[in-house]
Amino acid sequence: TISIRRRVIPRLATIIAGLLFLFLMFALCSCAGWSTGSLVVEGMEKIYVPFFQNDTYYRGLEEHLTRAVINRINERTDLFLVDKSSAEMIIEGRIIKYEERVLSEAQRNRILESSATTTVAVQLIRASDRTVIKESVLVDTAEFYEALGEDLETSQIESFRVLAAKIVSIVEKSF
């Protein structure tokens, strides 16, 4: 029994030390990235968001996406929406691709499950000299299920909310 104790106790101590180390690392890493202040740089707080352009045949998407971006800025940032002449930054966007896909059908071609994928090209521009600060192409796919009472419109709304969050994060991460 003494030889078993000599082998088990050091292993147990090593395991406990390893678990304690992992716990401490997790605790330290989980605190990283939190901030109580604004993520936007001083002097770049006024932003203009013109209506996004739409290169697809689906009309009205640009209006819904622009509204989602404006709502996200108002709800989640310290930025001030202003007209073009007062802006320090401009977010310009273009819907470059939109696809609807049927994922499953019932009898008589009744759609049970479908998806919509939206691809948007976005530019963050310094208003004073029209310098492009950041460019990005963003994609989001939203699915809807008829059995849950969802339809294409509800999936578009959710997809545009996700895209708006990604677009606004470009503004915050650019500084």
Tell me the pLDDT band of 32, cut-offs 50, 70 and 90: very low
- How large is the average pLDDT for residues 87-105? 89
- How large is the average pLDDT for residues 20-40? 51
Q: What is the pLDDT of residue 115?
A: 83
- How large is the average pLDDT for residues 147-161? 80
> Are the C-beta atoms of residues 48 and 127 closer than 8 Å to each other?
yes
Mean of all residue pLDDT scores within the chain: 81
Structure tokens belonging to residue 133: 């600060």
Q: How far apart are CA 64 and CA 160, in angstroms?
A: 7
Q: What is the pLDDT of residue 136?
A: 94
Tell me the pLDDT band of 19, cut-offs 50, 70 and 90: low
**Cα angle value 78/41/93 (rounded, 5°):** 70
Q: How does DSSP classify residue 37?
A: S
> Are the C-beta atoms of residues 101 and 112 closer than 8 Å to each other?
no
13-27, 74-88, 146-160, range with the lowest pLDDT: 13-27
Q: What is the pLDDT of residue 33?
A: 44
Residue 35 in this model has a pLDDT that exceeds 50: no
17-31, 89-103, 130-144, range with the lowest pLDDT: 17-31
Q: What is the pLDDT of residue 155?
A: 80
Farthest-apart Cα atoms in the chain, separation: 84
Q: What is the pLDDT of residues 83-94, one digit of tens each?
A: 999 999 999 999
Q: How far apart are CA 142 and CA 116, in angstroms?
A: 5
> Are the C-beta atoms of residues 61 and 98 closer than 8 Å to each other?
yes
Residue with tokens 């320090």: 88
